[in-house]
């Protein structure tokens, strides 16, 4: 007996089967319930929650079997990509989802402005209040808590504009 495992329950003998002709007959090749199945599946042991599984097949089928498993993996990856695309499309079109995201962003921006204003009222200079606001948002787990994002929200909210005094206004009119 050459080419077979010593412990294998299968005894393979040269087969007159032409593997190329059988390659596309998956029901015959891989269905263990049929008598003409060319592949033997065995669970050889189960210990500590681990099952040892073995597959025995004629040597000529190994590359076809590996190619089939590879193509199935690629097929499932392709299906997963299509699923992600459909989920993204449904989110982009779902008006309720868009409204929820807009509310979440508005709430986030409001938290930034309120935190910053509170820190400025406590006497922190604007640059320090910006840093402390960013730290506070990171501690609260906001996903967009970065220095650039926080400063752009504050800038859009008018928090970095200099308050003009009477002397500034007089200087502006003389320049005109």
Q: What is the pLDDT of residues 64-114, one digit of tens each?
A: 888 888 998 999 999 999 999 888 877 667 778 788 889 988 999 999 999
Tell me which DSSP letter residue 3 carries. Answer: S
Report the interhelical angle of 95-121 vs 147-156 (nearest 10°).
Answer: 90
The rounded distance, in Å, linking the Cα atoms of 101 and 147 is 21
Query: Minimal CA–CA distance to 55: which of 2, 9, 23?
Result: 9
pLDDT at 16 over 90: no
Q: What is the pTM for the complete model shown?
A: 0.42
- What tokens were used for 89? 């499309």
**Count of positions (residues) in the chain:** 176
Q: Which pLDDT score is estimated for 22?
A: 54
**Is 39 in contact with 27 (CB distance < 8 Å)?**
no
Q: Which pLDDT score is estimated for 176?
A: 46
- List all residues 6 or more positions away from 94 whose beta carbon is below 8 Å from its beta carbon: none
The enclosing H or E element of 44 equals strand 40-47
- What tokens were used for 123? 């006497």
Give the distance from CA 57 to its chain's centroid. 37
């Amino acid at each position: 007996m050459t080419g077979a495992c010593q412990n294998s329950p299968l005894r393979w003998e040269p087969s007159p089967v032409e593997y190329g002709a059988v390659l596309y007959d998956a029901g015959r090749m891989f269905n263990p319930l049929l008598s003409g199945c060319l592949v033997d599946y065995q669970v050889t042991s189960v210990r500590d929650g681990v099952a040892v599984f073995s597959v025995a097949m004629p040597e000529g089928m190994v590359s076809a079997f590996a190619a089939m498993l590879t193509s199935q993996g690629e097929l499932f990856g392709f299906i997963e990509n299509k699923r992600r695309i459909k989920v993204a499309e449904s989110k982009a079109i779902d008006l309720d989802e868009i409204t929820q995201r807009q509310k979440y962003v508005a709430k986030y921006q409001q938290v930034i402005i309120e935190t910053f204003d509170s820190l400025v009222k406590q006497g922190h200079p604007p640059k320090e209040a910006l840093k402390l606001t960013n730290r506070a948002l990171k501690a609260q787990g906001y996903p967009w808590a970065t220095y650039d994002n926080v400063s752009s929200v504050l800038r859009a909210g008018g928090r970095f504009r200099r308050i003009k005094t009477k002397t500034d206004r007089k200087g502006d009119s003389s320049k005109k």
